[in-house]
Structure 1
Amino acid sequence: MINTNRLELRVLIERDLEDVYEIYSDEKTCQYLLHEPWNANNKVSAFKEELSKNDFDSKDGLNLAVVLDNKVIGILSAWKTEMKDTAEIGFSFNKNYSGQGYATEAAKALLDFLFAEKHLHRVTANCDARNAASAKLCQRIGMRKEAHFIKDFWNKGEWTDSFIFAVLSEER
């Protein structure tokens, strides 16, 4: 679907199960996500749900596998919001591939795709304020922090702060 210098971004396929499980079974990776880490009992059903998100124009949105040398090292997500020509993005990456610029490269390519191919006006990202890596990634790909909401989201038994990042098409 989308190619960068080092990566391929494509919809998830059945053979990606174990690579995606490697990402989502990690407690630290899932610490700031909305779901608990996957385990052997729920990995197949959880993966099927991720597989179903394969069309940006559908209500479920789009999950893209970030592929390096035939291995899925990350997942990018994009979905339309209720606001006209606006989408939200999210991302999760295998911790073993951090610090090498892959997340930045992939997320920039996703933004380019959303603005050029889907003709969006605005793209946002919402992250747990404790997730410094996600906040830094948003800034590296040209998003600005627009809000810091205090204890606005109940997740995993606690109130958490949220950062909202955004970028407009004319800022790319």
Structure 2
Amino acid sequence: MVYAPDYPILTHRLRLRPFTRGDVEAVFAYRQREDVARFLFDSPMSHETVTEAIQQRISQSAVEQEGDKLVLAVDLRETGELVGEISLIWRSEIARQGELGYIFNPLFHGHGYATEASEALLRIGFEDLGLHRIMARCDARNRASWGVMERLGMRREAHFREHARFKGEWDEEFVYAILEDEWAARRVPAIAVGEST
């Protein structure tokens, strides 16, 4: 069965929606940056690479089977500016596992947007997709990223020390996760899905 959220997904300040071709310039503005690419598998992206990535993301707005992912643009409701992107990957159907990810333009860091958008996707993962556990991971040096995970109520499950070579040096990775009952216990007030802007 195909699952697609009722778009746009509205939170108090944000609008989560499928990508469109018109998003290329806004995404290129941050994906070309060295500081954004530092902890990602990608290098800073060219305009052409961003265009190709957006074309792929346009089709990633529904899930049907294990391995599928939702990859959504995150806009400010007030101005319509695209501030970042967020993803939820369906990792295992049998074990009901998912993985959360996010990349935000540094110009909009420090406002809690990644946390707010992530809460919306956790809700979808647990309440709509029926996932049991959702994990997230990041470079151990990326304090901002694992700070978001902790604000979401996720717990650090692992610290992989020098487990892989990453951009010419040993990688240190944190893995965080939250279970469905832990999510239910700290349940965030319902998002304003379906409200007009």
Q: Is the structural similarity TM-score above 0.5?
A: yes
2:166 maps to 1:137: no
1:108 match? 119
2:52 to 31, 45, 49: 45
Give the CA deviation at 1:90: 0.7
Q: Does the 8 Å CA contact 2:20/2:54 hold for their aligned counterparts? A: no
Mean CA deviation greater in 145-154 or 120-129: 145-154
Q: 2:104 maps to what in 1?
A: 93
Using the TM superposition, give the Cα deviation of residue 18 of structure 1 relative to its aligned residue in structure 2, in angstroms: 1.0
Provide the TM-score with structure 2 as the length reference. 0.82
* 8 A Cα contact 2:86 2:118, kept in partner: yes
Which residue of 1 is the match for residue 177 of structure 2? 166
Aligned 8 A contact 1:23 1:73 in 2 = no
CA distance in 2, matches of 1:42, 1:126: 24
Q: Deviations over 1:34-65 (max 9, x none)?
A: 10111234332233233343323353411011
Q: Which residue of 2 aligns with 1:64?
A: 72
Higher strand share goes to which structure? 1
Letter in 2 for 1:126: R
Q: Aligned partners of 1:134 and 1:46: how far apart in 2? A: 22
Change beyond 3 A, Cα 1:121–1:52: same
- Segments of structure 1 that go 5 or more residues without pairing to the other structure are none
Which deviates further from its counterpart, 40-49 or 118-127? 40-49
Poorly superposed stretches of 4+, deviation over 4 Å: none
Q: Distance in 2 between matches of 1:94 and 1:140?
A: 19
1:77 aligns with 2:95: no
Unaligned 5+ residue runs, structure 2? 1-6, 184-197
- TM-score norm. by structure 1 comes to 0.93
Rounded Cα–Cα distance in structure 2 between residues aligned with 1:131 and 1:88: 18
- Indicate yes or no: 2:31 matched with 1:20: no
Distance (Å, rounded) in 2 between the aligned partners of 1:36 and 1:156: 9
Rg comparison, structure with higher value: 2
Matched, 1:11 2:22: no
3-state SS of paired residue (2:75): strand
Q: Is the 8 A contact 2:32 2:46 kept in 1?
A: yes
Q: 2:37 is aligned with what amino acid?
A: C
RMSD between aligned residues: 1.5
Sequence identity of aligned pairs in percent? 37
Partners of 2:27 and 2:50 within 8 A in 1 = no
Tell me the equivalent position of 1:148: 159
